[in-house]
Chains A and B, each alone.
Chain A
Amino acid sequence: MTDYNGYIATDTIEGAEDGPLAGKTVAVKDNISTKDVQTTAGSAMLEGYVPPYDATVVERLKDAGATIPGKTNMDEFGMGTTTETSAYGAVENPVAEGRVPGGSSGGSAAVVAAGDADLALGSDTGGSIRCPAAFCGVVGIKPTYGLVSRYGLIAYANSLEQIGPIAPSVEDAAELLAVIAGPDERDGTTRDARDNGTDYEFAAAADGDVDGLSIGVPTELLDGADEAVVETFWDAIDELESQGASYHEVALPSVEHAVEAYYVIAMSEASSNLARFDGVRYGTSGSEATGGSGDERSESAGVSGGEGNWNESFAQAREEGFGEEVKRRVLLGTYALSAGYHDKYYKKAQDARAWVKQDFDEALSEADVLASPTMPVPPMKRGESLSDPLTMYLADANTTPVNLANLPAISVPAGETDDGLPVGLQLVGPAFGEQTIIRAGSALA
Chain B
Amino acid sequence: MSDNAVDGDEVAHVADLARIDLEEAEVERFTEQFGEILSAFEALDEVPETNRDADLTNVMRPDEVRECLSQEEALRNAPESEAGQFKGPKVS
Question: Which residues of A line the B interface, CB within 8 A?
Answer: 48-50, 52-53, 185, 188-189, 254, 256-257, 260-261, 263-264, 271, 275, 278-285, 288, 297, 299, 302-316, 318-319, 322, 324, 327-328, 330-332, 334-336, 338, 344-345, 348-355, 358, 389-390, 393-394
Q: Which partner residue on chain B sits nearest A324 by CB separation?
A: B26
A304 touches B88 (CB 8 A): yes
Q: Which residues of A contact B14 (CB under 8 A)?
A: 331, 334-335, 338
Q: Which residues of B contact A319 (CB under 8 A)?
A: 20-23
Q: How many Å lie between the Cα of A394 and that of B43 in the bound state?
A: 13
Q: How many Å lie between the Cα of A348 and that of B46 in the bound state?
A: 9
Q: How many Å lie between the Cα of A124 and that of B2 in the bound state?
A: 32
Can you name 12 A-B residue pairings with CB atoms under 8 Å? A49-B77, A257-B43, A275-B19, A283-B77, A304-B79, A309-B92, A324-B26, A331-B20, A331-B34, A334-B17, A335-B10, A348-B47
Q: Which residues of A contact B46 (CB under 8 A)?
A: 257
A50 touches B20 (CB 8 A): no
Instruction: Report the tally of A-B residue pairs with Cβ distances under 8 A.
Output: 165
Q: Which residues of A contact B20 (CB under 8 A)?
A: 315, 318-319, 322, 327, 330-331
**Nearest 3 pairs between A and B by C-beta?**
A282-B77, A319-B21, A188-B59
Q: How many Å lie between the Cα of A160 and that of B16 in the bound state?
A: 27
Q: Which residues of B contact A328 (CB under 8 A)?
A: 30, 33
A305 touches B87 (CB 8 A): yes
CB distance from B21 to the nearest CB of A (A): 4
Q: B47-88, CB under 8 A of A: which get 1 and which 0?
A: 111111010000101000000010001101111101000111
B61 touches A185 (CB 8 A): yes
B91 touches A354 (CB 8 A): no
Q: Which residues of A contact B59 (CB under 8 A)?
A: 188-189
Q: Which residues of A contact B87 (CB under 8 A)?
A: 280, 304-305
Q: Which residues of A contact B40 (CB under 8 A)?
A: 260, 390, 393-394
CB distance from B69 to the nearest CB of A (A): 6
Q: How many Å lie between the Cα of A284 and that of B80 in the bound state?
A: 11
B90 touches A308 (CB 8 A): yes
Given A257-B43, A261-B47, also A304-B80 (CB < 8 A): yes
Q: How many Å lie between the Cα of A314 and that of B21 in the bound state?
A: 9
A264 touches B79 (CB 8 A): no
CB distance from A120 to the nearest CB of B (A): 25
Q: Which partner residue on chain A sits nearest B49 by CB separation?
A: A351
Q: How many Å lie between the Cα of A389 and that of B40 in the bound state?
A: 12
- B45 contacts the other chain (Cβ, under 8 Å)? yes
Q: How many Å lie between the Cα of A316 and that of B79 in the bound state?
A: 15
Given A52-B76, A261-B44, A279-B79, also A390-B22 (CB < 8 A): no
A390 touches B37 (CB 8 A): yes
CB distance from A218 to the nearest CB of B (A): 18
Q: Which residues of A contact B52 (CB under 8 A)?
A: 350-351, 353-354
Q: Which residues of B contact A52 (CB under 8 A)?
A: 69, 73-74, 76-77
Q: Which residues of B contact A336 (CB under 8 A)?
A: 41
CB distance from A373 to the nearest CB of B (A): 21
Q: Which residues of A contact B86 (CB under 8 A)?
A: 280-281
Point out the residue from B15, B26, B48, B77 that lies within 8 Å of A50, measured CB to CB: B77
Q: How many Å lie between the Cα of A199 and that of B11 in the bound state?
A: 49
B47 touches A352 (CB 8 A): yes
Extra contacts besides A257-B46, A332-B38, A335-B6 (9): CB < 8 Å? A49-B77, A52-B73, A257-B43, A261-B44, A280-B88, A299-B79, A309-B92, A319-B20, A390-B37
Q: Which partner residue on chain B sits nearest A35 by CB separation?
A: B73
Q: Which residues of B contact A257 (CB under 8 A)?
A: 43-44, 46-47
Point out the residue from A284, A314, A344, A393 that lies within 8 Å of B37, measured CB to CB: A393
B47 touches A351 (CB 8 A): yes
Q: Which partner residue on chain B sits nearest A355 by CB separation?
A: B50
Q: How many Å lie between the Cα of A349 and that of B38 in the bound state?
A: 13
Q: Which residues of A contact B11 (CB under 8 A)?
A: 331
A309 touches B33 (CB 8 A): no
CB distance from B16 to the nearest CB of A (A): 8
Point out the residue from A185, A313, A389 that lies within 8 Å of B33, measured CB to CB: A389
Q: How many Å lie between the Cα of A351 and that of B18 in the bound state?
A: 26
B90 touches A311 (CB 8 A): no
Q: Which residues of A contact B7 (CB under 8 A)?
A: none
Q: How many Å lie between the Cα of A314 and that of B91 in the bound state?
A: 12
